[in-house]
Amino acid sequence: MFNYTSVSDACIKCGKCVPVCTIHQVHPDETTSPRGFIDLLGAHERGELAIDKTAKDIFESCFLCTACTEVCPNSLPTDMVIEEVRKEIADQYGIAWYKRLFFFLLRHRRIMDIASKLGYVFRTCALSDNNQYGGMTPKFRLPIVKKDRLLPSMASTSILNSYDEELDHGGKGRVAIFIGCLANYNYTGIGHSLVKILKALEIDVFFAKEQKCCAAPAYFTGDFATVEALSKQNIAYFESFIDEVDAIIVPEATCSAMIKHDWEVFFRNRGMHDWAERAKRLNKKIFMATEWLANHTELPKLLEQKGASKELLVTYHDPCHARKVQGIWQEPRALLQTNYRFVEMSDPNRCCGFGGVTMQTEKFHLAEAAGKPKAAMIDESGADVVAAECSACRMQLSHALYKNQSKAVFKNPIELIAEALEDGDA
C-alpha cells in the first residue's frame, strides 16, 4: 500500500482548498473535499478505514483537477494520493469491462485504428452529427451513454495515418508531434492545423508514428499495468529520436502534463528511479504546442504581419493540466490576442469538470453539474468561441455549451491560429 501518512500528517486542516475544490462545489460535503480525502486516507493507512463501497465512491468522485494543490500552503499533492488509492480500488474491485476494453484499444494502436474506422463508417446507425457544436448525439440510449449527450466527432482517417512520417517544410527546424488520442481519432482539425502552422514557419515535421497513448486515462482510473507499459514504450521510443529534433510538441494539456510530470511521479512512487530519470531527461524538449510556438519560433511576428482584423470574439479557458500543472496560460492568450478580439470570462481557471473516464461514464451527473457554471460564464462573456488547448476540456465544454444552447462553440487555439494565418485578411 502507498504510504499516505506524510501527506495526511502535513495537512494543517486550514481549509483553503475547500472552496476551490471542483467536487466540493457540486457536492458540498466535508468527505468530498481535499481535506476530507486526505483525512480519510490517513485513517485508511492507520487501518481504521477499509475501502468499502462508500469509500470507493468517495475517492472516485475527485476530478483530479489539482485546484487544491494550487492553493495549499503545504503544496500537498491531493491529486497524486487519489491516483494512488485508485490503484487499490482497481485491485480490490477490478476495472469495469468497458474501461478494460478502452485501455486495451489504447495499448494496441493498430486495432484501435480499425475500430475507429469501423466506428466512422457505421456511426450514422446510432449517432447524428451535430455540426454546430462539433460532435455527435446518440439517436437512442446507448450502453453507458445518455441520449442527450454530445459525443466527440469521428474522423475517417486518424492524424497519424494522414501524413508521411517526414514532412519537409524548408528545414528552418525539425519538430516531432505528439498528437494525443482524442486529437488523433476525433478532433483531427487540431493536427491538420498544427501542420499548416509549421509549414508556414518552414519547420519540418517528424510524425512519430510509433507513439502510444500517454496513459493518462489509465492513470486516473488506477490501471497501473497499462500506465507502466505505455509510458515505458513511449520513453524508449522518444529516446530513439530526441537528439534529432528541436522539440516534441503536444497540442494537448493533459497528454503534455502526463508526459512531463506524471510519468516521473509514477515511476518514483514505485521505486523505478532509472525510468523516472529517463522520463525527466526527456522533459527539457517536450512542450505544449502554443508554449513552443510562442517562445521558440517566428509565429508571433508572422501573426502580427497578418494584423488584428478578425471579427470573432474569443475567450480562453485554462485547462487544469496546462495552467495549474505546467504554468502555461500566457502563451495561448498572447497568440490569440494578436488576431482576434479577446475577452476574459469571469473565472477562466475554474475546472471545466471533465474528470476522467469514470467521471464521464458512471459519474456523468457530477461532470454535468461541474460543466454548467462554466458554460454560463462563457455565455456571460459574450464570446463567439471558447478556446482551450485540451481535447478533454473540448469534449466536456462542447457538451455543456450544447446543453445550454450557447452561442459560443469550442476550438483549440491551434485551429484558430491556423485560420488566422490562412486568411489573407486576418
**Residues contributing to the site for ligand SF4 (CB under 6 A):** 11-17, 21-23, 34-35, 37-38, 62-68, 72-74, 76, 78-79
Q: Are 211 and 234 in contact (CB under 8 A)?
A: yes
| Three-state secondary-structure class, residue 310 | strand
Report which of 201, 423, 225, 146 is spatially closest to residue 312, judged by C-alpha positions.
423
Q: Measure the CA–CA gap between 128 and 126, rounded to whole angstroms.
A: 7
Closest to ligand SF4 by CB, 64 or 322: 64
Q: Measure the CA–CA gap between 122 and 385, rounded to whole angstroms.
A: 30
Closest to ligand SF4 by CB, 12 or 114: 12
CB of 293 to ligand SF4, least distance (A): 29
Which residue has 488506477 as its cell numbers? 222
Closest to ligand SF4 by CB, 34 or 222: 34
Closest to ligand SF4 by CB, 80 or 314: 80
Distances (CA, A) of 201 to 179, 288, 359: 19, 17, 39
CB of 61 to ligand SF4, least distance (A): 8
| Three-state secondary-structure class, residue 176 | strand
Closest to ligand SF4 by CB, 34 or 319: 34
Distances (CA, A) of 319 to 38, 113, 189, 288: 24, 27, 19, 12
CB of 322 to ligand SF4, least distance (A): 15
Distances (CA, A) of 389 to 88, 193, 212, 265, 323: 32, 13, 20, 23, 11
Beta strands in 193-285 (DSSP E): 204-207, 247-250
CB of 356 to ligand SF4, least distance (A): 11
Closest to ligand SF4 by CB, 7 or 294: 7
CB of 173 to ligand SF4, least distance (A): 37
CB of 37 to ligand SF4, least distance (A): 6
CB of 264 to ligand SF4, least distance (A): 19
Closest to ligand SF4 by CB, 35 or 333: 35
Closest to ligand SF4 by CB, 22 or 188: 22
Q: Are 163 and 177 in contact (CB under 8 A)?
A: no
- The DSSP bridge partners found for residue 137 are 128
Closest to ligand SF4 by CB, 136 or 377: 377
CB of 314 to ligand SF4, least distance (A): 26
- The DSSP bridge partners found for residue 80 are none
CB within 8 Å of 271: residues ≥ 6 apart: none
Residues 219-246: b if buried by 16+ CB within 10 A, e if exposed: bbbbbbebbbbbbbbbbeebeeebeebb
CB of 22 to ligand SF4, least distance (A): 4
Which residue has 476530507 as its cell numbers? 36
Q: Measure the CA–CA gap between 265 and 272, rounded to whole angstroms.
A: 10
Length reported for the chain: 426
| Three-state secondary-structure class, residue 51 | coil
- The DSSP bridge partners found for residue 288 are 250
CB of 43 to ligand SF4, least distance (A): 15
Closest to ligand SF4 by CB, 37 or 292: 37
